Amino acid sequence: MTSVVIGRANGLHGSLTIPGDKSISHCSVIFGSISKGKTVINHFLKSADCLCTIKAFQQMGVKIASHGDQVVINSQGIDHLHAPKTKLQMGNSGTTTRLITGLLSGQPFNTTLVGDASLSKRPMKRISVPLNKMGAKVKTTRQGTLPLEINGGQKLHGINYVMPVASAQVKSSIILAAIQASTPTKITEPIFSRDHTERMLKKFSPNSIKRNGHDIVITPHQAFTSQTIDVPGDISSAAYFMVAGAIVPDSEICLKNVGVNPTRTGLIKVMKQMGANIQLKNLHNRDSEPAADIIVKSSKLHPCHITGDIIPALIDEVPLVALLGACADGVTKVTGAQELRYKESNRLATTTEELQKMGVKIKELPDGFVIDGSQPWQSKTDDLDSHNDHRIAMMLAVAALIAKEPVKIHHADSIRISYPTFFKDLKKLENK
């Protein structure tokens, strides 16, 4: 399936269990693979990106098996990874690349990481610079991209690092090097980014990490104990249905067991601010992460202005904010979101280009966009393109639910990266 046609929906109803969180799935494979013993991961996200992480550790000698959405890891521990026989293929996954590089920079063997066309354009100096400050030897191309060469066998030492960009991937990369260094590392994050790596490190190795406000201190060479992990549903996947439920008239849906870690719930805050009817029920702890059922009903939306500190808490949902803006009764503005230019596609450009094709009055800014939702859309909708970006494909599919004419989206198979069952789940809500 490369293209899909999506038509207007007459209300979405029913409930869905959202597949496991992508960040937490990656992290659980990484920590399971460096902890001696058996780690069991329930509700693992079996998407292309997370399967890349599993494959990389299998190539380094870790025994990993899966049955349905359960993954079982049997590892000898962090000192027993071995050199892969070939280059490691990172596919489309920035998270796999950046986290594994941190870990492998402290290992005694050399590795080369390669990726697909999109990943090969994404910036990697943001990790090689701090890792090399720790004594690692990580080399990017002159443009700062993949292939990445990691010269192992270096003695790492701790650093004090103030994060220049709010990036959980960079922070996690440093943490995974820091656990192998000779001295402690302090990371300061002026703006908070998602903290799944810190929570999971604490679970596998409670003495390795302490947080004090904006500072994180990593104490190296602590014991790691294998674990059982229950991954909550991915709020970044639930987000498509949260927005669909809000904008498709006569809808009421329930998204079950979704992770609501406060470093990820920016979209809920923004939707509430815009007047959406969205509620959390059954709030509970799923492992070391909060989770809840999210109930959304259609409602009238008002414009908003989002910027700065909230962006990391909805970083992958910004294209959806543009769509919400296109359904609000006024002008919505997003600024401070320049990081979107460095994702699977340049998401400020691709969101603008594709929503303009649907007739939305949206203008790209250097660090965001402005959307005038008060104007009706005049859709020309047979040539939309995801630009091979899963998040753009799914945002356009949600926009299609309220378009006048059926919409054709090319390269829709990119959904395999984070949400392989997205179209099936959408059908379930349409058929209720």
Ligand X SMILES: C=C(OP(=O)(O)O)C(=O)O
Ligand Y SMILES: O=C(O)C1=C[C@@H](OP(=O)(O)O)[C@@H](O)[C@H](O)C1
Sheet with 305-306, edge to edge strand ranges:
305-306, 331-334, 368-372, 361-365
Catalytic, 382? Answer no
Residue 251 CB, shortest distance to ligand Y, in Å, is: 27
Give burial (CB, 10 Å; 0-12/13-18/19+) of 44: buried
Residues 174-193 that bind ligand Y (CB under 6 A): 193
Residue number closest to ligand X, CB atom: 94
Nearer CB in complex with ligand X: 199/343: 343
> Does 120 count as an annotated binding residue?
no
* Residues touching ligand Y, count (CB under 6 A): 11
User: Could you give the CA distance from residue 348 to residue 365 in angstroms, rounded to a whole number?
Assistant: 8
> Does 38 count as an annotated binding residue?
no
Amino acid at 96: T
Asked if residue 316 binds ligand Y (CB under 6 A), the reply is yes
List 150's β-bridge partners, or say none: 111, 138
- Residue 23 binds which one of ligand X, ligand Y, none, with CB within 5 to 8 A depending on kind? ligand Y
Phi-psi region of 80 (alpha: psi -120 to 50; beta: other; left: phi over 0): alpha
Binds ligand Y (CB under 6 A): choice among 47, 140, 169, 332: 169
- Residue 264 binds which one of ligand Y, ligand X, none, with CB within 5 to 8 A depending on kind? none
- Residue 391 binds which one of ligand Y, ligand X, none, with CB within 5 to 8 A depending on kind? ligand X
Residue 23 CB, shortest distance to ligand Y, in Å, is: 3
Give burial (CB, 10 Å; 0-12/13-18/19+) of 336: middle
> CB neighbours of 241 closer than 8 A, spacing ≥ 6?
12, 16, 18, 253, 255, 296, 425, 426, 429
- Contact 230/237 with Cβ under 8 angstroms? no
> Does 368 count as an annotated binding residue?
no
> CB neighbours of 89 closer than 8 A, spacing ≥ 6?
52, 55, 56, 114, 115
- Residue 194 binds which one of ligand Y, ligand X, none, with CB within 5 to 8 A depending on kind? ligand Y
- Kindly state the helix (H) or strand (E) to which residue 278 belongs, with its residue range: strand 277-286
Residue 380 CB, shortest distance to ligand X, in Å, is: 27
Nearer CB in complex with ligand Y: 316/430: 316
How far, rounded to the nearest angstrom, does the alpha carbon of residue 162 sit from its chain's CA centroid? 22
Quick one: tokens of 338?
Answer: 């320049």
Residues near ligand X (CB under 6 A) are: 49, 93-95, 316, 343-344, 391, 418
Residues 337-356 that bind ligand Y (CB under 6 A): 339
Cα separations in angstroms, 370 against 91, 219, 348:
33, 45, 11
> Does 347 count as an annotated binding residue?
yes
Asked if residue 93 binds ligand Y (CB under 6 A), the reply is no
Binds ligand Y (CB under 6 A): choice among 59, 75, 95, 298: 95
| Residue from 287, 316, 389, 413 carrying the catalytic annotation | 316
> Does 167 count as an annotated binding residue?
yes
> Does 75 count as an annotated binding residue?
no
Quick one: tokens of 176?
Answer: 């995974």
Q: Which residues carry out catalysis?
A: 316
Where along the sequence are the contacts to ligand Y (CB under 6 A)?
23, 95, 167-169, 172, 193-194, 315-316, 339
Cite the annotated binding site for phosphoenolpyruvate by residue number. Answer: 22, 94, 122, 169, 347, 391
Instruction: Enumerate the known binding-site residues for 3-phosphoshikimate.
Output: 22-23, 167, 169, 316, 343
